């Protein structure tokens, strides 16, 4: 029997890609708030879902084995009170509470490279590196990592958290600068990783894994990710764009507007 998987935020770029990839793999249920699915996916079973509404979350999670939670405010410029707070903090709490109540076995949560943006550019972040966000959006993703641990250890709900890199849905060209190349993840690698998380060992109660492709240089390491969920990335941003970063000064110029990492900096979006 196929796993019954709820996908929240399915109409976003990652959600659409995942739905296409996993359509025959799982018994999918799409939790849709307002944005409709593309026409070729309109037949996939769906339910109305507003993650800011606890009752809506409970209804969406009924009879579900696993949840891939992608619904969130994704802008680093979003207002905290009106957008980040209800969607990225209260929303994830509502979803986890609903998953526990419904008896779900696993929730796959979306974090972001923004949760670790405070590390120096020449430092490769590892899966067990603590969050170091530089903006409020990144802080909400650090919260996702923390609350996932709470529900795994205190509520018996397996929670795997994916620090998602720069996802461009293979829509080339995109700004091929140092930051984007090192954090790039292709659509097929992203979908594969999310499915790997859904299908990982049931005894794996909590983990943070990294959502980047097999890039020549990776801002976030993949050693533990490969081992824990059997992730096998296929793509390399440096090969896709046929570029490299031979000079360290160019790296800082492109990623941080020429500022050195020891100075207060604001990474480009």
| DSSP structure string for 214-242 | S-SS-SB--HHHHHHH-------HHHHHT
pLDDT of 249 reads 52
Preceding omega of 173 cis (within 30 degrees of 0): yes
Tokens of 113: 């490279």
Which percentage of the chain shows pLDDT scores above 70? 88
pLDDT of 30 reads 99
pLDDT of 180 reads 86
Ranges of the chain with pLDDT below 50: 246-247, 251, 260-269
What is the tens place of the pLDDT at every residue in 13-44?
A: 999 999 999 999 999 999 999 999 999 999 99
Q: What is the DSSP string of 15-51?
A: HHHHHHHHTTTSEEEEEESSSPPPGGGTTS-EEE--T
Q: Please choose, from the candidates 133, 107, 101, 98, the residue with its C-alpha nearest in 3D space to the C-alpha of residue 119.
A: 133
Average pLDDT, the chain: 91
Q: Where are the domains of the chain?
A: 4-256
pLDDT of 177 reads 78
pLDDT of 68 reads 99
Task: List, in order, residues 6 or more apart from 161 with CB less than 8 Å away.
Answer: 108, 109, 110, 111, 144, 145, 148, 206, 207, 208, 209
What is the tens place of the pLDDT at every residue in 207-225?
A: 999 999 999 999 999 999 9
Q: Which CATH number fits domain 4-256: 3.40.50.720, 3.40.50.1820, 3.40.50.2000, 3.20.10.10?
A: 3.40.50.720
pLDDT of 178 reads 78
């Amino acid at each position: 029997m196929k796993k019954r998987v709820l996908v929240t935020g399915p109409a976003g770029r990652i959600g659409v890609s995942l739905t296409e990839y996993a359509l025959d793999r799982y018994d999918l249920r799409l939790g849709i708030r307002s944005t409709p699915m593309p026409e070729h996916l309109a037949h996939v079973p769906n339910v109305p879902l507003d993650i800011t509404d606890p009752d809506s979350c409970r209804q969406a999670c009924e009879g579900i084995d696993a949840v891939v939670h992608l619904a969130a405010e994704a802008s680093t410029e979003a207002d905290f009170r009106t957008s980040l707070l209800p969607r990225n903090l209260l929303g994830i709490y509502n979803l986890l509470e609903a998953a526990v109540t419904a008896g779900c076995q696993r929730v796959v949560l979306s974090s972001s490279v923004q949760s670790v943006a405070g590390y120096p550019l020449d430092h490769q972040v590892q899966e067990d590196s603590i969050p170091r966000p530089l903006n409020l959006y990144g802080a909400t993703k650090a919260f996702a990592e923390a609350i996932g641990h709470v529900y795994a250890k205190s509520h018996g709900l397996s929670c795997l958290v994916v620090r998602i890199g720069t996802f461009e849905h293979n829509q080339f060209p995109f700004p091929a600068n140092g930051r984007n190349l090192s954090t790039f993840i292709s659509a097929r690698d992203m979908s594969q990783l999310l499915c790997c998380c859904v299908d990982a060992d049931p005894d794996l109660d909590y983990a943070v894994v990294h959502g980047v492709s097999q890039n020549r240089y990776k801002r976030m390491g993949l050693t533990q990710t490969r081992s824990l969920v059997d992730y096998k990335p296929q793509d390399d941003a440096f090969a896709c764009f046929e570029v490299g970063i031979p000079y360290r000064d160019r790296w800082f110029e492109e990623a941080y507007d020429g500022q050195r990492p020891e100075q207060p900096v604001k990474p480009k979006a």
